[in-house]
Each structure stands twice: as structure tokens, then as C-alpha cells.
Amino acid sequence: ETGVTQTPRHLVMGMTNKKSLKCEQHLGHNAMYWYKQSAKKPLELMFVYNFKEQTENNSVPSRFSPECPNSSHLFLHLHTLQPEDSALYLCASSQGTSEIYTGELFFGEGSRLTVL
């Protein structure tokens, strides 16, 4: 139990579907992240939110739409995805993003997405 909970754990969707991934952290952290993990590839940062404000969008296609209503919750809305978007999507949180923090990330167990 890392204090970061992701739902659903598994999701299968068609290319025309609309679905959402949810992340909740119980650690009192101020920063939340979405990462994409594909087999044999480095973790790929997608979005960063700090105090509910998006501070980074790593050139992610618009078919991925993040939402951060408060510092404890993060969503990733999915629409008209492609088969190559199939991957493990990891949510993480940290105390903050500035230099005063070590930057240690606490990860959720991920949402395994399959796009047919």
C-alpha cells in the first residue's frame, strides 16, 4: 500500500470509446503525475500537476485529457485512442516539485489499458 490508489486496474476499450482513469492519493502531497509505461521502454512522463495547476504537458496527444479537481485527485480522460496507446498508466504523487523537496515519487499500481 503506497497511499496512491488507481482505478480501474484493467481497462479494455475500443477506439471510439470514452473512458476515464482515476487516481487518489492519501499522503497529503501537493504534486501529482501521470506516467505511461510500455514494455522495455523508460517510464514516460505525460502530465504534472502542482497545487492543482498543470505545470507540465509532455507533448501528449489531445486524445488524453487530464483533470485535477484538487490536490488529492487526478483523472485521465481517454477519447478515440489508438492501439499503440495500450500500456500501463501509472499515477504518482510527491510532496512538491521544487528544489526544496527530494522529489521522491509514490506510485499507484497502475491501470493496464488495452485499446482494440
Partner 1 sequence: GQNIDQPTEMTATEGAIVQINCTYQTSGFNGLFWYQQHAGEAPTFLSYNVLDGLEEKGRFSSFLSRSKGYSYLLLKELQMKDSASYLCAVRDEDYKLSFGAGTTVTVRA
- Residues near partner 1 (CB under 8 A) are 2, 4, 40-43, 45, 56, 90, 97-99, 102-110
C-beta of 24 vs 79, nearer to partner 1: 24
In whole angstroms, the minimum distance from the beta carbon of 79 to partner 1 comes to: 26
- Complex with partner 1: residue 41 or 62, whichever CB lies closer: 41
Beta partners for residue 56, in sequence order: 48
Distance of closest approach, residue 101 Cβ to partner 1, in angstroms: 9
Cell representation of residue 50: 502542482
Residue 84 vs 99, nearer CB to partner 1 = 99
Burial class from Cβ neighbours inside 10 Å (0-12, 13-18, 19+) for residue 69 reads exposed
Contacts of 44 (CB under 8 A, 6+ apart): 35, 36, 37, 38, 58
